[in-house]
Amino acid sequence: MKSIGFLGLGIMGKAMAANLIKAGFDVTVWNRNAAKCAELVALGARQGATPKDVAAHCDITFAMVSDPEAALALCQGPDGVAAGIGTGRGYVDMSTVDDITSKTIAGLITQAGGRFLEAPVSGTKKPAEDGTLIILAAGDPSLYDDVKPAFEVMGKMSPYLGDVGQGANMKLVVNMMMGGMLSIFSEGLSLGQKAGLDGQQILDIVDAGAMSNPMFKGKGAMLLNENYTTSFPLKHMQKDMRLAVALGDQLDQPLPTAAIANEAFKQAIKAGFGEEDMAAVYKVIK
């Protein structure tokens, strides 16, 4: 892999691309709002003009954008990845999307002669900065082998999950569980404090028992301090809940808990908290 393209320099993409540059890869970046490229160019990246341009000049191009609409927009049209990719080059979409979107993108890329891998990630801003993401890969096995050195820079593990769609499905399972946990955690903390219990003591007691986990530890402190500094935008968590509930519909899998948690995230977006961290769901619950 001589050269790498990176499309999408939001919270996650910026940190992931920076790690690739620091590891010595030859990286070309592109972002819809071009101003976000400057920081990466200062680290040593080149700046591409369009997704097509990046895909045409790099051996393997990665993408990390917000949602299914954005992921499709990157690939389609005269300036899209599919128009530039050409035979044998690779495209790795790391955005969180649903399996149908991922399969559509795979079709666009492979029809243009390219190879496709989906690789959504588990882990938020800090793991992206630390290079400790969990990368959920599925699709072209030869491309998976070729991108391993880059995955090793961005993540701590990168299991191969099979055909395109299975990485997306795994990611939705993980985030659906996380959204459900955050929602019930917010309810517990709200209920306890209304009953007169001390918030910190609630957190300490939960943390000492079988429910202790890094998310409750990290988000618990944020809830008590009313600090909603964004690591994972709430609007993206609601997108993941929505996609997981839709997958449940497709597969006739009842998801009553996830469906109700999704409603709490929808309320939080309606209340204007979509750009804040997912922890801000607490504000509508309490």
Binding characters for ligand NAP, 196-235, by CB under 6 A (x = yes): -----------------------------------xxx--
Cβ nearer to ligand NAP, comparing 205 with 221: 221
Query: Distance from first CA to last CA of the chain, Å, rounded?
Result: 50
**3-state SS class at 126:** helix
CA distance 238 to 253: 19
Question: Residue count at the site for ligand NAP (CB under 6 A)?
Answer: 26
- Comparing CA positions, the residue from 170, 174, 154 lying closest to residue 162 is 170
Which class for 114: exposed (0-12), middle (13-18), buried (19 or more C-beta within 10 A)? Answer: buried
Asked if 31 touches ligand NAP (CB under 6 A), the answer is: yes
**3-state SS class at 160:** strand
Asked if 65 touches ligand NAP (CB under 6 A), the answer is: yes
CB of 254 to ligand NAP, least distance (A): 24
CB of 101 to ligand NAP, least distance (A): 11
* Residue of 74, 136, 147, 269 interacting with ligand NAP (CB under 6 A): 74
Annotated catalytic residue within 171, 219, 235, 239: 171
CB of 25 to ligand NAP, least distance (A): 19
Cβ proximity of 58 and 4 under 8 Å: yes
Q: Is the dihedral of CA 179, 180, 181, 187 positive or negative?
A: positive
Query: 113-132: which residues touch ligand NAP (CB under 6 A)?
Result: 121, 124-125
* Residue of 3, 23, 26, 36 interacting with ligand NAP (CB under 6 A): 36
* Residue of 2, 24, 33, 209 interacting with ligand NAP (CB under 6 A): 33
**Sequence-ordered list of residues with C-beta below 8 angstroms from that of 2, at least 6 positions apart, any chain:** 26, 59
CA distance 20 to 29: 11
Cβ nearer to ligand NAP, comparing 31 with 104: 31
Whether 219 is catalytic: no
* Residue spans of alpha helices (H) in 134-212: 141-154, 166-194, 199-208
CA distance 74 to 247: 23
* Residue of 1, 3, 11, 79 interacting with ligand NAP (CB under 6 A): 11
Cβ nearer to ligand NAP, comparing 37 with 202: 37
Asked if 78 touches ligand NAP (CB under 6 A), the answer is: no
CA distance 232 to 136: 18
Asked if 4 touches ligand NAP (CB under 6 A), the answer is: no
Cβ nearer to ligand NAP, comparing 186 with 202: 186
Neighbouring C-beta atoms of residue 266, cutoff 10 Å: 16
Positions annotated as catalytic residues are 171
Binding site for ligand NAP (CB under 6 A): 8-13, 31-33, 36, 64-67, 70, 73-74, 95-96, 121, 124-125, 231-233, 236
